Amino acid sequence: MSSPDSIRPRKLSDQVQERLLHLIRDDRLAPGDALPSERELMVRYQVGRPAIREAMQSLQHSGVIEIRHGGRPRIASPSLDGLLDVLGPSMRHLLTHSQSSLDHLKEARVLLEAEMARMAATRRTEADIAELQTLLDEQDSLRADSEAFMESDGQFHRRIAAMSGNPIFETLAFGIFSWLRTFHTEQVRKRGLESLTLAEHRAIVEAIIQGDAAGAANAMRVHLERANALYHQENAT
């Protein structure tokens, strides 16, 4: 048995992965550029094919490269939505087994989306307002279809975040909603309260239309904290 202070040897594939990242950086490879072939890398690093393939698969899972059948791996195009997919399995584990992490995520969502509503009220355009109203009308028509209603709900929150003009805010807001929808559906949907959800959405949109930044932020906060309170009430019964 090794002592707590012993140094464990690193996996060969981890070392190859590190070398590949250095190669990408040092050669300034850009999205679409091809990496050397497996055979070339085997010769360069003096390792077998399994280590090369494991390192490549890890980089693909991280969204750094794309691997297509019959061709050499290429540098992937950056994608914020792709990053959400990469984080998905980790978020599932975190939110399933850590109540404190779920609580922290809900708190982060309230703060983030309240600020997004505040920014939307100051940066709104006529096109933004028209799209929000279209989303409200669409959601109103979907009351009887809970899955479609929830999908429209997510698009509503994403559209408000997009009005910030910062795609990272948009991706984070939609990512949090998507993780909750997938792993804790009760956090973003409560059957029978569709009318209340729509009323709260309309209050948010009205404040945005009026350019009332504080009002929009407060309306969003009330909306999300109401959902959190309902969840806690259900768990207490």
Please write the tens of the pLDDT for every residue from 18-54: 999 999 999 999 999 999 999 999 999 999 999 999 9
Residue 232: predicted pLDDT: 45
Residue 155: predicted pLDDT: 93
Using CA atoms, how far apart are residues 121 and 212, in angstroms rounded to an integer? 6
Please write the tens of the pLDDT for every residue from 44-68: 999 999 999 999 988 887 788 888 8
Please write the tens of the pLDDT for every residue from 203-227: 999 999 999 999 999 999 999 988 6
Please write the tens of the pLDDT for every residue from 163-201: 999 988 988 888 888 878 776 666 555 666 788 899 999
DSSP designation for 187: G
| 237 has a pLDDT exceeding 60 | no
**β-strands 65-66, 74-75: how paired?**
antiparallel
DSSP E strand boundaries for 58-208? 65-66, 74-75
Please write the tens of the pLDDT for every residue from 121-180: 999 999 999 999 999 999 999 998 888 898 899 999 999 999 999 988 988 888 888 878
CB atoms within 10 A of CB 194: 19
The residue to which tokens 């979907």 are assigned: 142
Domains, the chain, in order of start with CATH, read: 12-75 (1.10.10.10), 81-236 (1.20.120.530)
Using CA atoms, how far apart are residues 174 and 141, in angstroms rounded to an integer? 22
pTM for the predicted model, two decimal places: 0.65
Using CA atoms, how far apart are residues 53 and 55, in angstroms rounded to an integer? 5
Using CA atoms, how far apart are residues 21 and 8, in angstroms rounded to an integer? 22
Residue 139: predicted pLDDT: 93
The amino acid present at 31, given as its one-letter code, is P
